[in-house]
Amino acid sequence: MKYDFNKIEAKWQKYWAENQTFKAVNNSEKPKYYVLDMFPYPSGAGLHVGHPLGYIASDIYARYKRHKGFNVLHPQGYDSFGLPAEQYAIQTGQHPAITTAENIKTYRRQLDQIGFSFDWSREVRTSDASYYKWTQWIFIQLFNSWFNNDTNKAEDVSTLEAVFASEGNTNVNAVCDDNIEVFSAKDWNAKSSEDKQKILLQYRLTYLAETEVNWCPFFGTVLANDEIVNGVSERGGHPVLRKKMTQWSMRISAYAERLLQGLETIDWTDSLKESQRNWIGKSVGASVSFNVLANNENDSHVEPVEAPHVIDVFTTRPDTVFGVSFMTLAPEHELVSKITTPEQKSEVDAYILATAKRSERDRMADVKTISGAFTGAYAEHPFTKEPIPVWIGDYVLAGYGTGAVMSVPCGDERDYAFANHFNIPIINIFDGVDISESAFSDKDKTVIGNSDFLNGMNYKKATKRAIYELEQIGQGEGKTNYRLRDAVFSRQRYWGEPFPVYYVKGMPQMIDAAHLPINLPEVEKYLPTETGEPPLGNATVWAWDTEKNEVVSNDKINDTTVFALELNTMPGWAGSSFYFNRYMDPENPNEMASKEAMDYWQDVDLYIGGSEHATGHLLYSRFWQKFLFDKGVVPVDEYAKKLINQGMILGTSAFVYRIDKINFKSEKDGSPFGWYELEKTIIVSKETRSNKDFIKELFKETLAANNSLDKKSYDYVVGNYDEYKVNITFSSLHVKVDYVNASDELDVEALRLDSEFGKEYVDAIFIGEKGEVIKGNNDVYKVGREVEKMSKSKYNVVNPDNIVSDYGADSLRLYEMFLGPLEQYKPWNTAGITGVHSFLKKLWKLYADDNGLKVTDATPTKDNLKTLHKTIKKVQEDIENFSFNTSVSTFMIAVNELGAQKCTSKDILEPLLILISPYAPHISEELWSQLGYEGSISTVDFPTFDASHLVESSKNYPISFNGKMRFTMELPMDMSKDEIEAAVLANEKTQEQLGGRTPKKVIVVPGKIVNIVG
RNA sequence: GCUGAAGUGGUGGAAUUGGUAGACACGUUGGACUUAAAAUCCAAUGUCCAUUAGGACGUACGGGUUCAAGUCCCGUCUUCAGUACCA
């Protein structure tokens, strides 16, 4: 009986599929357990070995829980809307649905061959109409809701309308747009339908508004904040501009506080929670209003006018309000044009223009340079009534707070630098602090002075008092500010969910949920229209007939009952924000999931996925869950109890080093002699790159021989080598890791023939470590190595298909786990897989040899039992701590020990199989059935640990002298402290170590160690 | 700058509460088997000194606590990740 892993794995994968072994039921006697993976976007490149890491870990856990008697839900699906399929469609004309379906097929094949215990009957695809029906449905629910600050939850818009009709909006405490008009019930009832709709839109949880968005010209679409990294797009690194557009937004800011508080209740990693906290960015302080003084040109004296402009600022330090010596507005602030004096206009305009020209990136890269301009205007200090100059400066961001700050140079580094740069006076309001060198911002040590009613107070007291005084004069109040911005929800793309929205007189209308889904229309091409509309503008059948309640041809729009549909589509995160709920009841045509299903499954017990989604998916999905909870749709307001971030598996790239240029310079005066464009590509090795002598050899043996240099130059260089400085520039070029063996040796001939690299290497000269030219098969060229992210462009991608066919899925699973801790980043090295592969072969040999099964009914020995129970204990602990790498080691030790013990006992080998089954399910199933069992091993009870088998009668004590271990001594466990001490001191080795001296002290820790202090 | 995580052989990594540092593998070297190769098996493998016996050093660096420190405390350096003029 041979371990034919390919045959065994195919057999059991077929068995699991045919018997629906891992199908979860929505009610059961067993306790429930929900293990979720972040579903993949099915890219055209397929899976590489890095992708399944988290899936393997979650699969082990799911299988373990089944052994432990749980009803396990372990689903998988596809986040199948997205940019790459659309980019591909633009290039080839191929419908993204076709590309996506093909990619999913590849993914499914690859996932199946790794032997996951997914319940595929629950598969979801976000691009399926039967799925996005519910994405659209949730959108409608959001549109029909507003956030009531009094109840701290979302409520139906109809309640808001009722309040408006009966008492206006003065008493409504809602999260809504900033500049909302105040109206009475009478006002409201007198308004036209359009006006009412406009006002309601300012309250809805998803709303249409002209907002400044991140526009990416390359993709022709807007991007969310979390899709931008360092001022460029996360995908592809394309530039991003600020642009004003009318877009759908999600009022996630309404949930800022609850998103923050909710973090306390869930078991997610600290770093991830910290990321979300930073992203939410709560700061507590006050808003303060400053009245702008009217400018009297004939007099330097200034005084307020009747209806002055008001500059609102947010500050975390209201206690320093007496230290304000100027104000700074963001250059984009709307008041700038209104308050700038004629004399300052040209300067201010020039500054605004200069700032607008600077890209976001420049602005971020250059934070040190201080720049700004004086508007000529003054504002009045709320307490001292002194005039305060109003400046603009780009260190104040339009997007944060109110886009304006009260500048307190004595207490803020940036204000300090700004004041110094422009010679603005600095007022010191801190007792006993020298601010001649820098600002003082230590809240804890603050004692306020020179500040009227705040004198002598500490930070806490002064803050409270300042807010109280501001409230008294109606020029401020306590306020909490969040960095979290509302999320733009429109994308100018084709391959996304269509909105269930049509427009009447410019106002958005929801299609009744009964008519969902609104299917994505067909278009001729996937690019924006000539008039700059999104791709859906190309659809000819894309209008809503309000009588027939169906999508009809655009040319009917002139009918009074047919209206234009929304042309934007939803962003990538829409579909992924509730999929974990849909898995609970994925085929339900009437509800997102039935109440019974959601009440049964409740929430995800274990969620595994990448940390790159910290401020995107993992925040948006928590937001939607809280909203759905408010609406009574879902039973819990946090959907994932525990979340683990798997680390990335990195690729080990292979490099060759190409000579780009050779420069010669005189050693004497540095004057250049020239440089050579090389006729042939020359590839040197990592070592020769830094070896000066090789250059000489290079010229002698290679360049001259290949006529790369003319004779004169050759003589010149080689003959007078010492007189010339030779500078060589190299390029490090990625080559395919497939052509490199375990010893880093490159298959040069294969590389030459690879058309993917063009003609680059066909005639290239390869030079080895010692400067020798690589000719035959005996010469060795070693590549350079570097650990990088796995990516196609770096030619370092390792495909799991090859690993599975060469070593088997069980080897792949074990090896991915064996590589290191789950959360850690670690490099992939295919060569190492032989270790786990030979472990599986050894495991097999424990059960069977050429003559067949060798398992017997022999009574297990004490050693057998000890090995087994020690393994049960360790593996169980490891799985529960998600320390999968150490359990693989434990299995290896167990198999090595049982092999040495020549164990054939059924009572040992059967439980061992169950232990290994979550990790290596195929081999376990096969041996389990060879042992004569019917059906799958997957639900067999996990072996019970019996501590009595681990009780030792003696201990091999390490004997230390002054903390240094010298030798060991076997002593009975039941010896008393004194007996141990006596026994150790009596030992001749002890006497030898002491050399006649008497020990000062002897430390005996029974069962652990003996330390003799001399 | 701030926040978080980490730093252990040639490599990936082990090491419960402070208690034999380097488990388990990879790689390397030597050996067995073989006509040969593959596969398999055995042995060695932190560094340095020593023929051996044995010894010294050793968990980024410098201190400290302790009978005993990879683990605890103080300081420094480095790397990775996130974030950044957040008022």
Q: For the segment A744-771, what is each residue's pLDDT rounded down to a tens digit?
A: 778 888 888 888 887 788 888 887 776 6
pLDDT, tens only, A716-739: 555 555 555 666 777 888 888 888
SS3 A474: coil
Q: Do the Cβ atoms of A219 and A83 come closer than 8 Å?
A: yes
Q: Do the Cβ atoms of A626 and A255 come closer than 8 Å?
A: yes
Least reliable range by pLDDT among A248-252, A352-356, A883-887: A352-356
A819 CA to B18 C1' in angstroms comes to: 28
Least reliable range by pLDDT among A169-173, A762-766, A943-947: A762-766
- Enter the ipTM: 0.93
Q: Which positions in strand B are less than 7 Å from the protein's CB atoms? A: 3-5, 11-15, 19-21, 23-28, 39-41, 55-56, 67-69, 80-87
Could you tell me which of A122, A131, A126, A78 has the C-alpha nearest to residue A516? A131
User: Does position A297 have pLDDT exceeding 60, yes or no?
Assistant: no
Tokens found for residue A294: 């009217």
Least reliable range by pLDDT among A222-236, A294-308, A595-609: A294-308
The average pLDDT across A969-981 equals 84
Q: From the alpha carbon of A395, which nucleotide's C1' atom is closest?
A: B85
Least reliable range by pLDDT among A55-64, A216-225, A308-317: A216-225
pLDDT, tens only, A418-452: 999 999 999 999 988 888 888 888 887 888 988 99
Q: From the alpha carbon of A1013, which nucleotide's C1' atom is closest?
A: B67
* Residue A776 pLDDT grade (very low, low, confident, very high; cuts 50, 70, 90): low
The average pLDDT across A196-222 equals 86
Nearest protein residue, CA measured to C1' of B54: A966
Distance of CA A665 to the CA centre of its chain: 50
Residues A351, A160: Cα–Cα separation, whole Å: 44
Taking all residues of chain A, what is their mean pLDDT, rounded to a whole number?
87
Nearest protein residue, CA measured to C1' of B21: A965
pLDDT, tens only, A611-657: 888 888 999 999 999 999 999 999 999 999 999 999 888 888 888 88
User: Does position A714 have pLDDT exceeding 60, yes or no?
Assistant: no
A61 CA to B17 C1' in angstroms comes to: 27
CB neighbour class for A234 (10 Å; exposed up to 12, middle 13-18, buried from 19) = middle
Residues A435, A593: Cα–Cα separation, whole Å: 63
A832 CA to B10 C1' in angstroms comes to: 14
pLDDT, tens only, A321-358: 999 999 999 988 889 988 999 999 999 999 988 887 66
SS3 track for A487-534: EECCECCCCCCECCEEEECCEEEECCHHHCCCCCCCCCCCCCCCCCCC
CA dihedral sign, ordered A914, A915, A917, A923: negative
Residues A234, A583: Cα–Cα separation, whole Å: 29
A785 CA to B47 C1' in angstroms comes to: 25
Query: For A576, phi and psi rounded to 5 degrees?
Result: -90, 0
At residue A718, the pLDDT reads: 52
Q: If you ran DSSP here, which 8-state letter would residue A179 be given?
A: S
- Report which residue type is found at A921: P
Place of tokens 């032997």: A115
Least reliable range by pLDDT among A132-146, A427-441, A566-580, A989-1003: A989-1003
Residues A54, A73: Cα–Cα separation, whole Å: 16
At residue A367, the pLDDT reads: 63
A271 CA to B5 C1' in angstroms comes to: 8
At residue A299, the pLDDT reads: 42
Q: From the alpha carbon of A835, which nucleotide's C1' atom is closest?
A: B25
Q: If you ran DSSP here, which 8-state letter would residue A477 be given?
A: E
A387 CA to B8 C1' in angstroms comes to: 64
- Report which residue type is found at A435: I
Tokens found for residue A431: 């007792």
Q: Do the Cβ atoms of A372 and A417 come closer than 8 Å?
A: no
A548 CA to B45 C1' in angstroms comes to: 81
More confident residue, A715 or A319: A319
Residues A868, A862: Cα–Cα separation, whole Å: 10
Residues A863, A665: Cα–Cα separation, whole Å: 75
Concatenating the DSSP letter of every residue in A332-393 gives T-TTHHHH--HHHHHHHHHHHHHHHHS-HHHHHH--S----EEEEEEEE-TTT--EEEEEE-
